[in-house]
Amino acid sequence: MTALLGKQDSKLLRPGAGIIGIDEVGRGALAGPLVVAGIRWLRIPENPWIRDSKKLSPFRREKLITWIRQHSDEIRIVEIWPEIIDRMNILEATRFAMRRLVDGIRRPGDAVVVDAVALGSGYEDVLSPIKADEDFFSVAAASIAAKVHRDRIMIQLSRAHPIWGWERNKGYGTAEHRAALQRSGPGPLHRKSFKFSAVLP
C-alpha cells in the first residue's frame, strides 16, 4: 500500500475555498470516448487507497468511487466521443474537456490541478505538473472517477458491439482488440484519427 496522498493538496487549500483535481481516461484508447473527471474538495480526507487508478483493481475502484462521492464536494464528468476527437485531435479534445470542467466547477479562490496538460491562455493559474495523479490526492481521485465512468460505458457498448471484446479491453489496443481489427476493420466507435495500420498484427 502506498503512503497517504494529500500533503501537496493541503498546501494549496485556502480558507473558504477548495481544491479541484482533474484527470482523463481513454486518451490512448483506439475506441470509445475520452472521459475527463473533475472533483472539488473542501478538505483532504485520509484514505490510503486513493492513488492513480491504473494501480487499482476494478473491484477497488468501484469501492472507492462510493467513498469519493461521500467525501467530496462535487464531481463532474465530461465525455468526448470519437467524432469530436477526430475533428479536434486527442490533445485538443483533452484540453477542451478540462477547460469545460474548470469553468463549470471552479469557484473563487479554488486551486485547480490537472495531470500534465497545459490548458493555455486564460488558464495560467491552473497547475499541470507531470504525474499529478501520483502526487496529488485530488487528481488521483479524479483518475478513479474517470476510469470507473469510462469502464462502465465500454462494458455497456460491448453488449451492442461484442466482436471487439470491449468489456475486457475497454477499447485499448490489446492483442484481442488488434486481432478483431484485423478481421473486421474499425467500426463506427473507433477513432479514425488513429493509424490503424500501426496497431494491426
pLDDT along the chain (201 residues), means of 10: 78 96 97 98 95 95 98 98 95 97 97 96 97 96 98 97 96 94 91 66 46
Whichever domain contains 56, its CATH number is: 3.30.420.10
Number of domains in the chain: 1
The pLDDT of residue 47: 95
Quote the domain boundaries for residue 78: 7-194
**126 alpha-carbon distance from chain centroid:** 17
Q: Is residue 186 assigned to a domain?
A: yes
The pLDDT of residue 58: 96
Inter-CA distances, 93 with 117, 158, 176, 180, 182, Å: 11, 24, 27, 26, 27
Q: Is residue 199 assigned to a domain?
A: no
- Contact (Cβ atoms closer than 8 angstroms) between residue 186 and residue 196: yes
What would the grid cell of residue 45 be? 480526507
